[in-house]
Amino acid sequence: MMRNTPSARLLGHLLMWIRWAGTGASIRATARAADLPPATVAQIEKGQRALKKPKIASLAGALEVDSEDLMELWELCQGLVRDSSGRLNLYTQVPDPTPSASHTWSNRPGETERDHELNPEFRLAGQICTVMSRVMPRAQFDVQPARPDDPIPHALELDGIAAHQAPSEIPVLWVQWNDPNALDEVSALELPLITGPSKQDRASHSVASPSLLDELIRTLTVAERERVRGYVEAVIEQRAVS
């Protein structure tokens, strides 16, 4: 998963929901429990930073959820679905998924549950809702097709929706919090079009040329330069000790 992608923003918003309606802890408290910098947790929730696989277990512990559930959300937000053998497949390539028993579909007039099951985007949204229902059993999750006249409260409109998609082809994840202290009784999230897991290209040699590094250093703020200097001093000190 890479930062600033539909997958990263989708997962980040789900993690924010889990923190808000789960532990109710602040970003700082969650970061401290996960042994992560608060800025990192804040950036992960905004999709500005991608949650890396090795950090899933520690963040799951901080959010007080099962690490396997968080791992499955991490996979699903990249469009990856496990088949009966446990092998990961892109959601559009799963021919006959097992319908979710713990998820409720909301159908429009003329639509049936089978219509949604045949749509890979709706199947993926349904599986995400199934995991979220396990993680947050007090909330009620649901999937509906998008409608231009729907009063979607605080919907996160994510980049990646194909221009040719009609609103009825875009799944919207709805959640009713069933919590009198919730800021909104209902929240919603549009599922972005996920084409597959994004992978960062590996540089063959140097990541950046000296001229590019010099240009990057000049653009740093004073505070950022101090942090970089602190990192360098820590590396030098660690090498001196070892």
Instruction: Give, in degrees to the nearest 5, the angle at Cα 44 between 42 and 45.
Output: 65
Instruction: Give, in degrees to the nearest 5, the angle at Cα 158 between 155 and 160.
Output: 150
Distance CA 138, CA 153 (A): 20
Give every CB contact of residue 217 below 8 A, 6+ residues apart in sequence: 225, 228
Bridge partners of 190? 172
Burial code (b: 16+ CB inside 10 Å, e: under 16) for 16-47 equals bbbbbbbeebebeebbebbebeeebbbbbbeb
Instruction: Give, in degrees to the nearest 5, the angle at Cα 46 between 116 and 231.
Output: 140
What does the pLDDT profile of the chain (242 residues) look like in tens digits? 888 888 999 999 999 999 988 888 999 999 999 999 999 999 999 999 999 999 999 999 999 999 999 999 999 999 999 887 888 889 888 765 554 444 444 544 444 444 455 688 898 999 999 999 999 999 999 998 887 776 665 555 554 455 566 667 788 888 888 877 666 788 888 888 787 786 653 333 444 556 656 666 666 777 777 777 777 777 776 666 55
